[in-house]
């Protein structure tokens, strides 16, 4: 006689694994004003990007010990802060200029998808995983990041207050970076702002941090991957950005979107933004099951992947126009 055993579904947590390339190579992250400047601006961008793409590919090949590296390329379009033109007009222009430079975009992503992907509030979920690193000697005298929307990499300067009678004012003290090397490089990152109605607008650095986590294959929602590539839209690209999936696979032969490491080739105006990204990544409690899956797979492939998520991210910054 066989006895039936009933168990709660939640008793068996499941985290779906994602296929991984060796490198996710970002060919650009431009704003609408870049596209508004016309084809010449895109042409200039890809001409600047091309030599660094070759260098990134060579570095990835060296890390794989002579084996053919799996490398996927991606491009992020800002449709979150501003909307310009339509996918039907803009995306073919982008792909034509990339092709002119001898580059192929495997995956196209919308920045608004880093805020909400489908019905998943991605940015809000990542914000819920912030674990602030308390600076040495701090006593909780500042509101938490979840309340203020600001995240620092150290101790802020104390706020000067009017002293009480018979007491002298406290002396000014400089901010202090938690992991400073001799001297501090202190950074305070605004992760979001809110209007009078409480509507939250996510900042560019915070959305870029979400983007990096997605490219590293570390985002999950109820165990499922958040950024799932959709095939190239049949019949061409839509006229409305909201009708375009958050992530589109343009090249059916492309290596996997997510990767052990990422590299982004960007204009140097993104340098402060990406510094802020690292501050955010250093204080995110990443899904442990997803991290474990990456560690197991990299070990089977005999690949060295840094323990720190932020150290899996690299950049090339070129001098912009």
pLDDT digits (tens, 9 = 90+) for 194-235: 988 889 999 999 999 999 999 999 999 999 999 999 998 778
The per-residue pLDDT for 134 is 67
The per-residue pLDDT for 2 is 47
Region of poorest pLDDT, from 72-76, 134-138, 189-193:
134-138
Residue found by looking up tokens 């509507």 in the block: 199
In angstroms, the CA 227 to CA 113 distance is 9
Q: Is the distance from CB of 297 to CB of 22 less than 8 angstroms?
A: no
The per-residue pLDDT for 67 is 86
The per-residue pLDDT for 25 is 98
Residue 247 phi/psi, 5° resolution?
-140, 125
Among candidates 73, 68, 117, 61, which has minimal Cα distance to 98? 73
Q: Is the distance from CB of 309 to CB of 236 less than 8 angstroms?
A: no
HEC profile of 20-57: CEEEEEEEEEECHHHHHCCHHHHHHHHHHHHHHHHHHH
Among candidates 120, 114, 124, which has minimal Cα distance to 79? 114
Average pLDDT of the chain, as a whole number: 89
In angstroms, the CA 130 to CA 45 distance is 34
Going by C-beta distance under 8 Å and a sequence separation of 6 or more, which residues neighbour residue 62? none
pLDDT digits (tens, 9 = 90+) for 170-202: 677 888 888 888 898 899 999 999 988 889 999
The per-residue pLDDT for 32 is 79
In percent, the amount of the chain with pLDDT more than 90 equals 70
């Amino acid at each position: 006689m066989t006895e039936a055993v009933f168990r709660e579904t939640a008793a068996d947590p499941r985290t779906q694994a994602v296929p991984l390339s060796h490198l996710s190579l970002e060919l650009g992250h431009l704003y609408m004003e870049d596209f508004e400047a016309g084809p010449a601006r895109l042409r200039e961008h890809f001409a600047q990007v091309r030599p660094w793409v070759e260098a990134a590919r060579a570095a990835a090949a060296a890390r794989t010990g002579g084996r053919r590296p799996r490398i996927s390329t991606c491009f992020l379009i800002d449709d979150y802060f501003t909307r310009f033109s339509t996918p039907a007009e803009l995306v073919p222009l982008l792909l034509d200029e990339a092709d002119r430079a001898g580059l192929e975009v495997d995956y196209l992503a919308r920045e608004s998808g880093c805020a909400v992907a489908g019905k998943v509030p991605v940015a809000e979920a990542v914000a819920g995983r912030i674990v602030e690193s308390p600076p040495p000697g701090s006593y909780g005298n500042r509101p938490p990041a979840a309340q203020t929307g600001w995240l620092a990499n150290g101790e802020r300067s104390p706020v000067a207050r009017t002293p009480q009678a018979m007491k002298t004012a406290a002396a000014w003290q400089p901010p202090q970076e938690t992991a400073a090397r001799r001297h501090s490089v202190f950074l305070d990152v605004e992760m979001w702002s809110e209007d009078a109605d409480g509507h939250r607008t996510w900042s560019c650095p915070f959305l870029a941090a979400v983007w990096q986590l997605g490219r590293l294959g570390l985002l999950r929602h109820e165990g499922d991957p958040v950024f799932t590539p959709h095939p190239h839209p049949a019949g061409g690209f839509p006229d409305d950005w909201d009708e375009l999936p958050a992530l589109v696979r343009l090249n059916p032969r492309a290596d996997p979107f997510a990767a052990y490491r990422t590299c982004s080739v960007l204009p140097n105006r993104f340098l402060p933004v990406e510094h802020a990204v690292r501050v955010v990544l250093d204080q995110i409690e990443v899904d442990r099951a997803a991290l474990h899956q990456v560690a197991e797979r990299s070990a089977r492939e005999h690949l060295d992947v840094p323990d720190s998520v932020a150290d899996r991210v690299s950049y090339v910054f070129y001098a912009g126009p």
